[in-house]
Structure 1
Amino acid sequence: MNSFDFDVIERSLGYLFRDGMVFTLKLTILSTTMGLTLGTLLAMCRLSGIKPLASAAGAYVNFLRALPLILVIFWFYFLVPYIGGWLTGQGRPLNVGGFTSALITFTLFEAAYFCEIMRAGIQSIPRGQVAAGYALGLNYWQMMANVVLPQALRNMAPILLTQTIVLFQDTSLVYVLSLTDFLGAGINVAQRDNRLVEMYIFVAAVYFVMSYAASQLVKYLQRRNTMAA
Structure 2
Amino acid sequence: MDFQVIADNFTYFMIGRYPNGPLGGLGLTLYLAVVSCILSFFGGLILGLLSLSRIAVIRYPINALINAVRGLPLLMVIFWMYFLLPAVLGKPVPESRTVIAALTIFTSAYMSQIVRAGIEGIPKGQVEAALSTGLKPWHAMLYIVLPQGMRNMIPSFVNQFVSLIKDTSLAFIVGVSEITHVGTQVNNRTMAYPTEIFIFIAAVYFIVCFAFTSFSRWLEGRLAWRKSI
Q: Normalised by the size of structure 1, how large is the TM-score?
A: 0.90
Q: Match for residue 194 of structure 2?
A: 196
Q: Deviations over 1:95-125 (max 9, x none)?
A: 1110111111111111100000110001111
Aligned length: 218
Counterpart of 2:36 (choices 31, 34, 47) is 31
1:115 aligned to 2:112?
yes
Structure 2 CA distance for aligned equivalents of residues 140 and 80 of structure 1:
37
Larger CA deviation: 142-151 vs 158-167: 142-151
Residue 116 of structure 2 aligns to which amino acid in structure 1?
Answer: R
1:133 CA displacement: 3.1
Structure 1 CA distance for aligned equivalents of residues 123 and 82 of structure 2:
42
Q: Deviations over 1:149-187 (max 9, x none)?
A: 222121111111111111110110011111101111111
Structure 2 CA distance for aligned equivalents of residues 58 and 191 of structure 1:
44
1:214 aligned to 2:180?
no
Structure 2 CA distance for aligned equivalents of residues 29 and 7 of structure 1:
31
Q: Match for residue 97 of structure 1?
A: 94
Counterpart of 1:185 (choices 169, 175, 182) is 182
Q: Match for residue 91 of structure 1?
A: none
Residue 54 of structure 1 aligns to which amino acid in structure 2?
Answer: R
Q: Match for residue 2 of structure 2?
A: 5
Gaps of 5+ in 2: 16-23
Distance 1:54 1:215, change over 3 A: same
1:136 CA displacement: 4.1
Q: Deviations over 1:51-100 (max 9, x none)?
A: 11101110111000111111111111011111223xxxxxxxx1111011
Runs of 4+ aligned residues of structure 1 deviating over 3 Å after TM superposition are: 135-138
Percent sequence identity over aligned pairs: 36
Q: Match for residue 61 of structure 1?
A: 66
Larger CA deviation: 196-205 vs 130-139: 130-139
Gaps of 5+ in 1: 86-93
Residue 224 of structure 1 aligns to which amino acid in structure 2?
Answer: R
1:34 CA displacement: 0.7
Distance 1:140 1:96, change over 3 A: farther
Q: Match for residue 153 of structure 1?
A: 150
Structure 1 CA distance for aligned equivalents of residues 208 and 118 of structure 2:
26
Residue 111 of structure 1 aligns to which amino acid in structure 2?
Answer: S
Q: Match for residue 122 of structure 2?
A: 125
Structure 2 CA distance for aligned equivalents of residues 82 and 138 of structure 1:
46
Structure 2 CA distance for aligned equivalents of residues 78 and 209 of structure 1:
34
Q: Match for residue 27 of structure 2?
A: 22
Q: Match for residue 225 of structure 1?
A: 223
